[in-house]
């Protein structure tokens, strides 16, 4: 939890040669991979990964993404992905991302929204699944 009471996880990614394009910079679509890397790091630290959802009978597919690109990244750089959980009352998982370069300048920001779908019938859950409600209570994000 950061100074604003927000759940944030910081994760380093080393830029791969194969993530660059003919302009010599990271191809824009790869930022969604860095977001996933950040989200995974968040999931590992706060026990709310794809695998946790799966064990409880849910998938958490992405339904919305946004990326805003301020600067570029090139091969050999190490970027920092800050992944912040955005608390919402709806049956959604919302994360905000801040990618910084080694000079601590903001390279890219973005957001993803995930929903909970039942693994059995592939329907979208309109209410918070119990396992996720319990997770929020445990994190102090929801009253028991």
CA distance 53 to 118: 10
101 binds a second copy (CB under 8 A): no
10 binds a second copy (CB under 8 A): no
Q: Is 121 annotated as catalytic?
A: no
What stretch of H or E contains 69? strand 62-69
Cβ–Cβ under 8 Å, residues 107 and 99? yes
Give φ, ψ of 128 to 5 degrees: -60, 125
Looking at 16-24, 87-95, 123-131, 133-141, which segment touches a second copy (CB under 8 A)?
16-24
Residue from the set 2, 12, 21, 118 that interacts with a second copy by CB under 8 A: 21
* Partners of residue 99 on adjacent β-strands: 81, 108
Q: Where in 28-57 is the site for a second copy (CB under 8 A)? A: 28-30, 32-33, 36-37, 40, 49-51
What stretch of H or E contains 33? helix 31-46
Total of chain residues touching a second copy, rule CB under 8 A: 37
Single out the residue of 60, 55, 73 nearest to residue 14, CA to CA. Answer: 73
Residue from the set 8, 10, 56, 62 that interacts with a second copy by CB under 8 A: 62
Which residues of the shown chain bind a second copy in the complex (CB under 8 A)?
14, 16-18, 20-25, 27-30, 32-33, 36-37, 40, 49-51, 59, 61-70, 72, 74-76
């Amino acid at each position: 939890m950061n100074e604003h009471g927000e759940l944030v996880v910081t994760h380093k990614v080393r830029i791969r040669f194969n993530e660059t394009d003919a302009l010599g910079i990271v191809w824009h679509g790869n930022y969604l991979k860095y977001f996933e890397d950040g989200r995974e790091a968040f999931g590992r630290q706060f026990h709310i990964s794809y695998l946790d959802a799966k064990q409880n009978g849910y998938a958490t597919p992405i339904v919305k993404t946004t990326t805003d690109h301020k600067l570029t990244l090139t091969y050999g750089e190490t970027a920092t992905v800050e992944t912040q959980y955005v608390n919402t009352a709806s049956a959604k998982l919302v994360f905000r991302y801040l990618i910084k370069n080694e000079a601590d300048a903001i390279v890219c920001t973005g957001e993803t929204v995930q929903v909970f779908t039942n693994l059995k019938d592939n329907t979208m859950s309109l209410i918070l699944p119990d396992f996720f409600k319990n997770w929020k209570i445990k994190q102090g994000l929801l009253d028991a």
